């Protein structure tokens, strides 16, 4: 069996997880080798998108908030047969546990990463977070391509 992966951005609340993964979705939509198969409708600021690339199935689920439908979205992603799920969670608790649960039940290896966060407002002026999110999302797309 081919290895399957969950790539998870785990960080505190309001550290830009959703923004980073929304940028990943935007990048994938712009790449000709990726075909959007399905996008959940009416999901508010969060998105769930299923792509295919050269026969490889990839789901991006930006939802990583506690007390949300994040576990259901992960279950939906796994049920597509996706080889790669890219998602978000907090650093501990129910959202992190949901990622571990799906990984264990469906045979995924988990790749954890934490996005950059700047606490100092002076640094934000020097290095805008939109630029940082773009760099992070480009690296995630490169990892998807490699896997």
Give me the percent of the chain exceeding a pLDDT of 70: 98
Q: 87: part of which helix (H) or strand (E)?
A: strand 84-89
Beta carbons within 8 Å of 19's beta carbon, 6+ residues apart: 129, 133
Burial annotation 49-65 (CB, 10 A radius, 16+ → b, else e): bbbebeebbbbbbbbbb
pLDDT surpasses 90 at 87: yes
Would you say 98 and 89 are in contact if contact means Cβ atoms under 8 Å apart? yes
The C-alpha angle with vertex 147 and arms to 118 and 84, in degrees rounded to 5, equals 75
Q: 36: part of which helix (H) or strand (E)?
A: strand 34-39
Instruction: Kindly report, residue by residue over 63-81, the tens digit of the pLDDT.
Output: 887 778 888 899 999 999 9
> Global pTM?
0.91
């Amino acid at each position: 069996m081919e290895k399957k992966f969950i790539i998870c951005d785990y960080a505190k609340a309001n550290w830009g997880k959703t923004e980073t993964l929304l940028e990943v979705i935007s990048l994938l939509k712009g790449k000709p080798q990726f075909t959007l198969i399905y996008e959940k409708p009416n999901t508010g600021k969060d998105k769930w998108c299923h792509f295919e690339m050269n026969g490889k199935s990839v789901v991006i689920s930006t939802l990583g908030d506690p007390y949300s439908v994040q576990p259901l979205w992960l279950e939906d992603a796994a049920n597509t047969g996706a080889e790669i799920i890219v998602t978000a969670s907090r650093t501990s608790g129910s959202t992190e546990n949901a990622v571990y649960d799906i990984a264990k039940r469906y045979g995924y290896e988990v790749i954890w990463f934490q996005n950059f966060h700047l606490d100092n407002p002076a640094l934000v002026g020097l290095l805008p977070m939109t630029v940082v999110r773009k760099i992070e999302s480009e690296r995630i797309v490169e990892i998807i391509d490699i896997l």
